[in-house]
Amino acid sequence: MSRSWDVFCRVIDNYGDAAVCWRLARQLAAEHGARVRLWIDALDALHALFPEVVRDREAQSVAGVDIRHWSAASDIGLPADIAVDAFGGGLPDAYVAAMARRDPPSLWIVLEYLSAELWVVGHHGLPSPHPRLPIARHFFFPGVVPGTGGVLKEASLEPRRDAFQRDRGRQAAFWRDLGFAPPDQGSIAVSLFGYENPAVAELMHVWALSPRQVVAAVPRSSLRPQASAFFGVADPDDGSTLRRGSLEARWVPFLPQPRYDELLWACDWNFVRGEDSFVRAQWALRPFVWHIYPQQERAHRVKLEAFLEIYCEGLEPPTEAALRALWHGWNDPAAPAGLMRAAWESLNGHQDRLRQHARGWAATLALPGDLAANLAHFCEERLK
Ligand code: TRH
C-alpha cells in the first residue's frame, strides 16, 4: 500500500541530520512507493549534499521527494499516515493534535541517532504515550546488530560500488575530474574528513616520513584549516596540491553525496565523522577511522568503545590493539604524543588483512537489514 510520509528534519549543525533524512526520504520514495514530504529548516545543507536542491524555494520536487522549507510559519496541512520526527527534534503542536484526531491516528516515529551500545536492542521500537493526546511516539533506533533498525543502505549501493571498485578506468577518471592524477600504484590513498582535530599534525607528520607515498584527499570540513596549517598554508584552493616528504595533500571541494561515496570507494583508508559518513565508510569496504561527534561529559567515548567492541571482533590481537590506538589517538585530545604514529606504522603491514576485515564487517552490518525497509515494515505492521 502506498503510504504518505512526512519527514521532519531540524538541522542542528553540519550535514549529518540533513544527510540521513534525505537518504531516508529518497529511499522510501524510490523503493517503497511512498509519497514523501521532507520538511527541512536548512535548505543550504541539503543543497551542499545534493546541488539539484535549490536553496531558496519553499517547495520543490527532487529525486521523487517533495521537499518543503520548514519554518515556524509553514502551513503543513493535513498530517501524513506516518510522521518521522528525525533525531527527536519535535513536531509542531498543531500537527501533533491533527495526527491524534485522525482515525486511525498517524504513526509518530522518533528516528534516533545511531549507536552500537547494547541497550539499544531493548529500546528499539518501544512506544511512549503522549501525556495528553491519544497518540504514542515510537522510538526507532538505528543500529549495527540484529534487533535494531539497522543502517541505511539503498538498493543501488552495492552494484554502484562494485562496478566502481572493479574498474580502474573509472577510478582514474574520478581523480582526473577533480583535477588530480590517479594516485600511483603502490601509494596509499586516504580521505580525510573530520571535526577540528589537533591530532592531524601528528598523522601528517607520519605520512610525510612514510616509506610509501601517501595521497591525502582533504575535502572542505572543519578539519581542513589544521591540515593545511601543517604546510604553513592558510586556505589552499580547491584543486591544489601541497607536498612534504612522502605526503601529497589534495584539497578537494565539498562533493555532492554520490561523488563523496566515490571518494570513499577510491581510497585505501577513510577518515570520517558524525553519523552518515561513518556509515558510508563501512559500506565502502575499506578500513576507516571514525571521528565521533563530541558530546558533553564524554558520552561519545562510550559510543565509540561500543562500536569498537563489535567492529574489532575477529581481528588478531596486535592488529586490534593498533586499530584501537589509532581511533583513540584520533578522538582523544589528551592521547599521548606518538600514539597515532606507532599505530599507523604497525597497521601499515596489515593492509590486506584490514581490507578483508572491512569486507567481512559489511556483511555483518547487513544482518539487521536496511533501515528504510525495516522502518517501512515496522510502520505497516502498526497501521494495518
Ligand atoms: O556533518 P556531520 O558532522 O553531521 C552530523 C551533525 O553534526 C549532527 O548534528 C550530528 O548529530 C551527527 O553528525 C552525528 O557528519 P556526517 O553525519 O558524516 O554527515 C556528513 C555528510 O556530508 C555525509 O552525508 C557525507 C557528506 N559529504 C558530502 O556529501 N561531500 C563531502 O565532500 C563530504 C566531506 C561529506
Q: How do residues 324-374 score in pLDDT, each as one tens digit?
A: 999 999 999 899 999 999 999 999 889 999 999 999 999 999 999 999 999
User: Which CATH number do you get for residue 110?
Assistant: 3.40.50
Q: What is the pLDDT of residues 43-75, one digit of tens each?
A: 999 999 999 999 999 999 999 999 999 999 999
Q: State residue 384's pLDDT score.
A: 86
- Same structural domain for residues 228 and 191? yes
Residue 383 counted as domain residue: no
Q: State residue 349's pLDDT score.
A: 84
Q: What is the pLDDT of residues 218-259, one digit of tens each?
A: 999 999 999 999 999 999 999 999 999 999 999 999 999 999
- Same structural domain for residues 330 and 196? yes
Ligand 1 atom with the smallest distance to the CA of 191 is: 34
- Rounded to the nearest 10 degrees, the angle between the axes of helix 16-32 and helix 276-283 is 60
* HSE-CB for 246 with a 13 A CA cutoff: 17
Residues belonging to the active site? 17, 275
- Same structural domain for residues 118 and 169? no
CB crowding 109-132: b at 16 or more within 10 Å, else e: bbbbbbbbeeebeeebbeeeeeee
Residue 296's SS3 state is helix
**Given a cut of 90, is residue 152 above it in pLDDT?**
yes
Indicate if ligand 1 lies below 6 Å from the C-beta of 95: no
Name the average pLDDT for the chain: 96
Indicate if ligand 1 lies below 6 Å from the C-beta of 194: no
- Same structural domain for residues 127 and 186? no
Going from the Cα of 44 to the center of ligand 1, the distance in angstroms, rounded, reads 13
Between the two ends of the chain, the Cα-to-Cα distance in Å is 10
Residue 150 counted as domain residue: no
Rounded CA-CA distance 174/272 in Å is: 19
**Given a cut of 80, is residue 18 above it in pLDDT?**
yes
Rounded CA-CA distance 283/23 in Å is: 14
What percent of the chain is modeled with pLDDT above 90?
Answer: 95
Indicate if ligand 1 lies below 6 Å from the C-beta of 115: no
Residue 29 counted as domain residue: yes
User: Which CATH number do you get for residue 192?
Assistant: 3.40.50.2000
- Same structural domain for residues 52 and 131? yes
Rounded CA-CA distance 324/252 in Å is: 28
Residue 44 counted as domain residue: yes
Number of domains in the chain: 2
Residue 377 counted as domain residue: no
Q: What is the pLDDT of residues 21-50, one digit of tens each?
A: 999 999 999 999 999 999 999 999 999 999
Domain residues for the domain of 194 are 157-365
- Same structural domain for residues 131 and 89? yes
- Same structural domain for residues 134 and 161? no
- Same structural domain for residues 98 and 161? no
Residue 146 counted as domain residue: no
For the record, the C-alpha cell of 103 comes out as 482515525
Residue 373 counted as domain residue: no
- Same structural domain for residues 304 and 163? yes
Q: State residue 23's pLDDT score.
A: 98
Q: State residue 296's pLDDT score.
A: 82
**Given a cut of 90, is residue 297 above it in pLDDT?**
no
Q: Residue 249: which H helix or E strand, with range?
A: strand 247-252
Q: What is the pLDDT of residues 173-199, one digit of tens each?
A: 999 999 999 999 999 999 999 999 999
Residue 382 counted as domain residue: no
